[in-house]
Chain A
Amino acid sequence: MFYREAGDFKVSYRDDSQTFPIKFDRYRYYVVLAVAFGVIPFLINDYWANALLLPFLIYAIAAIGLNILVGYCGQVSLGTGGFMAVGAYSCYKLMTAFPEVSMFIHVILAGGITALVGVLFGLPSLRIKGFYLAVATLAAQFFLVWLFNRVPWFYNYSASGQINAPERDVFGIIITGPNAPAWATYLFCLVFLALSALIARNLTRGTTGRTWMAIRDMDIAAEIIGVNPLKAKMSAFAVSSFFIGISGALFFALYLGAVEVGEAFGIQKSFLVLFMVIIGGLGSIFGSFAGAAFLVLLPVVLKVVGADWLGWPTDIVAHLQLVIVGALIILFLILEPHGLAQLWRVAKEKLRLWPFPY
């Protein structure tokens, strides 16, 4: 009834090719943005920021990045944790080397450095495909984590081998370190997420995104119709690593504050982000958000239900969580291989006809 194209007249090509062609979608998008930027910062407290909102925002950036690589370009990567570590460590080195420069620039530069590293490790994708490539990206994961663990230059020769985020500010407001107010860190991450989503959405709608999808669907055929596989694959690796690097930098500087590389950016992180992308939906920006929200919420909900309401020991809850996550992934793949995004699409199709059956 209210969710339909009818009556919404497009009078220019610009209108015709906008991201949200349906009026309801457009308003919903503005409302979500307004709430996220204008309402939540006033309501937020430390618990909500640290337990839910910050991890959601940061993982959503990582999921968008990985979705570009896996969902749009079809190159399976298990090296996300390693690339996030590159973002975190380059951000740390920049923060300590240039303390007076704004955090915005540090985070973006960290993303850029990660993009370079991503291209380097993406080079084998020109020769290797499928599972072989997935395993090859594990080389990046293990090598990078080892590198940050063993070369003292990366952690500034600190005795513990950890890196600690020093206090830095943006426009005079402290956003890293223990004294940062929750709303400031939240807003900082939100700005990056909004920009990432915007860039990713528009990249995937344009020429670049179409060449990625051509490569994904069949790379030989794509090559024959004139897509340059080198350019397409390398740009996918670069853009994807850029976002993942940003999320790694934010994860370290704003969320954790102190990082031990093997623990924070191990292989488990790679799988976690991959699951977000799969559960959310491969090849969908909305899916990245949905998947990140789902997998950030799930442990919190399970903990509240299992440990707080039922009073079970935490180790049982942790094991149950593994069982449930595993079962959910299998269930999702069986029932809806295209993830939450597909459910959303189906719901929208239904909504357009509602309340009529046809």
Chain B
Amino acid sequence: MPDQLIFATEVILNGLMAGVLYALVALGFVLIYKASGIFNYAQGVMALFAAMTLVGIMNGQVPFAHLINAVFGGHITHFGWHIPALLAILLTMGVMVLLAWCVQRFVMRHLVGQEPIILFMATIGLAYFLEGVADLMWGSEIKTLDVGLPQGINLWIDEATFNIFGYGFFIDNLDIVATVIAALLVAALVAFSQYTKQGRAMRAVADDHQAALSVGISLNFIWIMVWSVAGFVALVAGIMWGTKSGVQFSLSLIALKALPVLMLGGFTSIPGAIVGGLIIGVGEKLFEFAIGPLVGGATENWFAYVLALIFLVFRPQGLFGEKIIERV
């Protein structure tokens, strides 16, 4: 194979891996949107919050240490213990469930029946709020997250491709793990929504709030559950991205990256989120590889949006979105 083609193949493979991570974030959006019609802008910040909480719990940091020190004086920072990763993940999940309850109890419950755009704005407010709380709780410095996931170049693929093409592909172990986990997560979510009672109730709520209410499904419970599941997805995404590039503010910006994925795939479709993520991941890496050097690089910042924009002009509901029917 010619060199260019080999490089392009490697770029595509890496793009697929990146796309999986985008899809992971987009999944959280789709879940909440399907179940409650809320476009949850705070999903990215939830991932950041989850990752920071995980790091904080693992290192035994005292929450709000900075604030407490500033108000009362004193120099507390750590409890002085380290918690194993698995337990910490479980504890963080608990925090995310608590967060879901708070969001439902203090925000969404008061906004039932408002226009979608108002709900969207509320989640932007929530994003700011959570970001501030996360910084106050755990400090805003960049943290490293290590829950024992394998990292670095996958030597096996490197060797195998070297033997075939005479050029070793660089594929990060972490990306492979992320792909596997994302596949498991999607399978679990699909199974959950198809075969469990709560999952069916969730789909019923997504179809029609009033009809669901009338057959005795508790909307409150379902929404808390949906936000918890979204929190769980955020936690998984936070772990992946946090391990990859450190836990820092830019983590919350992946939410913005997930938006074009959603537009491509359609807001209401789980397979759409996956396929959209892969298309965006491969597309932006290939574009950067082929066109990027000609126009000054860093095209990854906008390519996804422009691709989605052009795509939407021809298919406004996205790849797998439900057909938009409008009546006066």
Contact = CB atoms under 8 A, between A and B. Distances in A.
Do A and B come from the same complex?
Answer: yes
A139 B305 contact: yes
Task: Tell me the interface secondary structure of chain B in the complex.
Answer: helix
Interface string B225-259: 00000000000000000000000000000001001
Contact of B136 (A274, A320, A328): A320
Contact of A220 (B124, B298, B328): B328
Task: Tell me the interface secondary structure of chain A in the complex.
Answer: helix
Interface string A307-347: 00000110110011111111111100110010000000000
A319 B297 contact: no
A273 interface: no
Interface stretch (B6-14, B106-114, B161-169, B186-194): B106-114
Contacts of B196: none
A326 B316 CA distance: 31
Name the residue in A138, A146, A275, A326 with the highest tally of chain B Cβ atoms < 10 Å from its Cβ. A326
A318 to B, nearest CB: 8
A325 to B, nearest CB: 5
Interface stretch (B84-92, B125-133, B148-156): B125-133
Nearest to B64: A316
Contact of A330 (B70, B126, B262, B298): B126
B308 interface: yes
Contacts of B128: 322-323, 325-326, 329
B267 A136 contact: no
A267 interface: yes
Contacts of A130: 116-117
Interface string B132-154: 11011000100000000000000
- Interface size of B as a range: 35 or more
A128 B121 contact: no
A278 B140 contact: no
A159 interface: no
Contacts of A43: none
Contacts of B328: 218, 220-221, 224
Contact of A320 (B114, B132, B267): B132
11 contacts: A127-B313, A129-B324, A132-B267, A135-B305, A142-B302, A320-B136, A325-B128, A329-B121, A329-B125, A330-B107, A334-B110
Interface of B: 39, 66-67, 70-71, 107, 110-111, 114, 116-118, 120-122, 124-133, 135-136, 140, 256, 259-260, 262-263, 267, 295-299, 301-302, 305-306, 308-309, 312-313, 316, 318, 324, 326-328
Q: Give the 8 A-B CB pairs with smallest separation, nearest first.
A: A326-B129, A322-B132, A329-B125, A326-B128, A139-B305, A323-B132, A150-B296, A142-B302
